[in-house]
Structure 1
């Protein structure tokens, strides 16, 4: 009898242990489920963020690289008249200012010229002979970014030039009755600065001591007109050499004229 009681007690203890083990396993399973649910929520959150970023990138791409909120691209019209290059464009909505960029020869790359503009016009006095292949871009800007216009070229704009001198016009300072010769068409070199003053290399019907047509460096401005700066066959300062022709001329923005000359020594 005593042995039977011991066996029953052992069986009761084993039953309790099995029950407790079942509860523990159930608790562990529930905890695992909770961890999996939390993990799933985190991964789902990351997917949403990635999806949102992708959408933003797609939006930027659709804008052609334009920052969200930046103005539209300006529509630029170029003109060239009497040494003055002018760009105009209709006012762009939401633009606070504009910038003009120049690639002077088509290969050097764009750099900004002048300061930021609030007017929808840009004017510069330049020599188009120094701007072969030049390209320009106007950007409309605000605090959100800038948007470039289409590239503007200056090819073919020289139809707006009014001649300063032509063959047969008086050539001041060279000699009595001197006029510019037909050689002007082949020998003329000129440069213009931002204030509109022009430096000219021209040939005249006068001859130098060698019997050749005489070259001169001239300046021109709308106020002072045309005047001689240097004639060939004249003595080079501080030397016994004389000028025997010229081959280039430049004028800076202060009005100083620089020229290259050939000498008789």
Structure 2
């Protein structure tokens, strides 16, 4: 049985006691699954509080060039979903850090919702994030996730209306993910004037932890976003890029050092 089955995403935030969580993202199978497995172990050892693992997909609409390229490399290597699940099932025996599966709705539909959720549950995933799934269509997936104790992480866009934010917060599980920028992942952080007001509004309307992502890559970005009073920071493209650059070294030392430096930037 996987070690992490009793550690939910919600409980992870409780254990952090208001410290800001580090939530890195990497793409499964880039450049291969053995590197992914080693990277997951490094992230867990070096202080990642929750890890998002991207399932390679041929048309990743929310992803910027860095993560698209990672997805493309993994698909060219003929990485299969079941191979990813097998690797995750192994690594979740060794790490306690909760894993969130990041994937697009087509993949879930193609496999069948109940089948997909059963598979990720058995592999040891604790959460699921589906960036192209609108609130109006989450009901079946939401119900299956609840039955399987998979926390379905919902997104709030930078232009989402206050009424819609309230509806999202009513359904949120584990944590809620605020997108800091209009656009795709990997863009430069644009701390627009309304982001703090948006965070304050979310905080005033829910007790659920709030994580923020898209465009966070430098120590300055991390410190700025942390100053907004969020519960966690998601970093994707920066980690994906560093992992690819480090992947010729079997010990992934550059990647390890990068993770340490990011963790040290968080208060």
Instruction: Report the TM-score range of the alignment, normalised by the length of the smaller protein.
Output: under 0.3
TM-score by length of 1: 0.21
Taking structure 2 as the reference length, the TM-score comes to: 0.21
Larger relative contact order (Cα-Cα within 8 Å, sequence gap ≥ 6): 2
Q: Which has the larger radius of gyration?
A: 1
